[in-house]
């Protein structure tokens, strides 16, 4: 009886461990999708969440928008980047289980880097590739830092 109970417990622990590992692997995959502008499914991101006020940025961000930046693009990019931020957070939740504090802090920086993409873009002169260029300038570094922090052995 004790042997059967022990085997059941071992099997349950193995199942939980595999399930957690699968969740972490899925979260790693989702995080890696944000490494490059071209690997983000922007069409999906655009349709994920309903935001009744597309221009609901904080006043300090609004104050940094260049006067000549086209308003129709500011609201579009804000909506996309806020959806991306929400999606990234939701997809990486399994990584937060048992993650070191340094990783959680880095993941928060990575999420806020999406706001930095917006601020850098709208505070500059508008040009067609600004979204791509600023995304590629900021996000790959942040995603790399997430992986480095997560893969750093615990002391």
What is the residue extent of each domain of the chain?
2-151
| Pair 48, 87: CB distance under 8 Å | yes
pLDDT digit string, tens, across residues 107-120:
999 999 999 999 99
Provide the 10 A C-beta neighbour count for residue 65. Answer: 18
Q: What is the pTM of this model?
A: 0.78
Instruction: Give pLDDT, residue 29.
Output: 81
Main-chain phi, psi angles of 100, to 5 degrees? -65, 155
- Rounded distance, CA 99 to CA 83, Å? 24
Is pLDDT at 8 greater than 90 in this prediction? Answer: no
- The two tokens of residue 44 are 């999906």
Number of residues assigned to the chain = 155
pLDDT digit string, tens, across residues 36-51:
999 999 999 998 887 6
Instruction: Give pLDDT, residue 121.
Output: 95
- Rounded distance, CA 74 to CA 90, Å? 24
pLDDT band at 146 (very low <50, low <70, confident <90, very high): confident
Q: Which one, of 99, 109, 105, 98, lies nearest residue 150 by Cα?
A: 99
């Amino acid at each position: 009886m004790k042997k059967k109970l022990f085997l059941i417990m071992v099997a349950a622990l193995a199942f939980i461990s595999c399930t957690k590992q699968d969740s972490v692997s899925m979260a790693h995959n989702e995080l890696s999708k944000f490494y490059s502008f071209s690997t983000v499914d922007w069409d999906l991101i655009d349709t994920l969440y309903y935001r009744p006020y597309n221009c609901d940025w904080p006043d300090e961000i609004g104050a940094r928008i260049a006067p000549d930046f086209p308003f129709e693009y500011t609201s579009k990019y804000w909506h996309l980047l806020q959806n991306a931020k929400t999606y990234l957070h939701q997809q990486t939740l399994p990584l937060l289980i048992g993650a070191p504090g340094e990783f959680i802090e880095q993941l928060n920086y990575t999420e806020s880097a999406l706001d930095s993409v917006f601020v850098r873009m709208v505070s500059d002169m508008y040009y067609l590739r600004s979204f791509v260029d600023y995304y590629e300038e900021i996000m790959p570094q942040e995603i790399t830092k997430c992986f480095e922090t997560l893969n750093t052995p615990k002391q």
